[in-house]
Structure 1
Amino acid sequence: MGNAQSSRKITPQDKAILDLKTQRDKLHQYQKKITILTTRETEIAKECLARNDRRRALLALRRKKYQESLLAKTDAQLAQLEQLTSQVEFALVQKDVLFGLQQGTKVLQEIHREMGGLEAVEKLMGETEEARAYQEEISRMLAGQMSNQDEDEVEDELETLEREVRGEQLPDVPDSALPEPTEEEKEQKRKERAKARARERAAMLAS
């Protein structure tokens, strides 16, 4: 009885579930580590704004957003794969699951490369030739990797941080809130941002 149970063959479904658990464990580890990095990236953005270095502040926030989007994408994908592997008709979805696991492995490897540690994050503030080369490399890598929505959210966060920094530097700020922009004004701003990003990417490709 015991021998029969111990000699049970490992099915493709068993292997897929094990691979899913492994990927999920890795993702949870990365989530904890990236939280430390993204917190520091936000601090760096504020420090850059305090010295009127908007370009580096934006770079720090873009990198932060990219890391968060990678984690979110992988988390959603793993949840979907877990649902597929739990289905009785596993054989029917096996191909999709295996492909999804392969893609998940690639994204996890990308997240691992993104980690880099706090030392890499601090290079966003650096003035050395090595630090500038790193900043340029990050800018090129992020160009085209993020959606327009992600870019808009980064710009919104940058503006929020700018208001915070200005508030810290100027304590006697009027209590009355500024009027909220209209939907037309928001749409116009999104279009202007998209054009500015397109010009930036074109300049990178030309250089």
Structure 2
Amino acid sequence: MGGVFGKKKDGDGGNKSNHNDMEITAHDRAVLDLKNQRDKLGRQKKKMAANMDRLQGMAMELVRSKQKTKALLVLKKKKVIVSNMEKIESMLDNVQELVDSLEFAARQAEVFDSLRTGADALKDINAQMDIDEVERIMDDTQEAIEYQNELSNALAGILQPGEEEDLEAELDALILDEAADMPSVPVAEPGADGIEEYSYDSDVGVVPARSSAARSSGRVAMEAS
């Protein structure tokens, strides 16, 4: 028996938990009460309409039977019912309007809660991101992209407009510097007993020193003329 009672107690506890999960709020209770009143007023209005039709029929029968006094009394009762029905219709409109307002307010509250939850979540996300850290990451990313582009251009052998001319000018300057540092080299002419010196000319390369001197003299003379 103890086991049976214990099981029943667990069942009661489970029902209590379900009841807490389905707790009715003040808003729900207000809407429920208003809807109950609306239904009661609707039933009362329907009953009044039936009585009004019945009194209308009675008045017609009394008129046919020449009982005008009783017919007039019945019509007065009907008029009272019509007046009460108008009041009930007005109350029904007010109740329905209030029900609609409460339900709309509930939807607004749900939207507000959703907005507040979303705003809190956004704040939490933003709190995890530091603006300085974001800027540093963006700078590092930009530098990495630029470096990768430079590597790609170098590997592909792509030169920007004007870079090839600059490289050729740099090469010419290196050649001139190298020629200026080169000493005169004595070289024996074929078939001659003497030794003649050779030098480097920027226009034609390695030439005999006499030819280079003559060429230089010619250029000086031309410039002087």
TM-score of the pair, normalised by structure 1 = 0.35
Higher strand share: 2
Q: Work out which of the two has the higher radius of gyration on C-alpha atoms and give 1 or 2.
A: 2
- Report the TM-score when normalising by structure 2: 0.32
More contact order relative to length (CA 8 Å, sep ≥ 6): 1
